[in-house]
Amino acid sequence: MLIFLVLMYILLKQERKSIKYSSLIYFLLLSIVFMSGQIYISSTYQLSDGKLFDWVYLFLYFYFVPLFILMAYKLFKITNKAFRKTWVKITMLIFWAAVLVGIGSVLPFIFILIFYGFAP
């Protein structure tokens, strides 16, 4: 989680202070709630109860929806600054949208494997 927060800081380093601090506070509080809940659930319930999987799956959306909004915002800003011609901008935005869709289809599996594991 600490690595994720550091990467979020690097991603938001040159943004307005309101965007940077509100995003970092959101992800920090979310990480604290997620990790404390994960510790509580894993120590209280058996893995076969499915409570931990439900917890991880719920927080998957709390992490990735804002993350993808921030990534799309940054990629949109970078594309608008880097290219002058409209057709190149549109092409790059379509490319970045395809990349985000690809990342969005793989990251949930990685998130579940990291925090839930290969358990049934």
Structural domain contains residue 32: yes
Report the Cα 85 to chain-centroid distance in Å: 31
pLDDT of residue 22: 92
pLDDT of residue 115: 83
Structural domain contains residue 101: yes
pLDDT of residue 54: 85
The one-digit pLDDT tens for each residue of the chain (120 residues) are 788 888 888 888 888 899 889 999 999 999 999 999 988 888 888 767 778 888 888 999 999 999 999 999 999 998 988 988 999 999 999 999 999 999 999 999 988 888 887 765
Structural domain contains residue 102: yes
What 100-106 contacts at long range (C-beta under 8 Å, 24+ apart), as own/partner pairs, is 100/68, 100/71, 100/72, 100/75, 104/64, 104/68
Structural domain contains residue 120: no
Q: Identify the domain containing residue 45 by its residue range.
A: 2-8+17-115
Distance of alpha carbon 27 from alpha carbon 97, whole angstroms: 23
pLDDT of residue 6: 86
Domains of the chain: total:
1
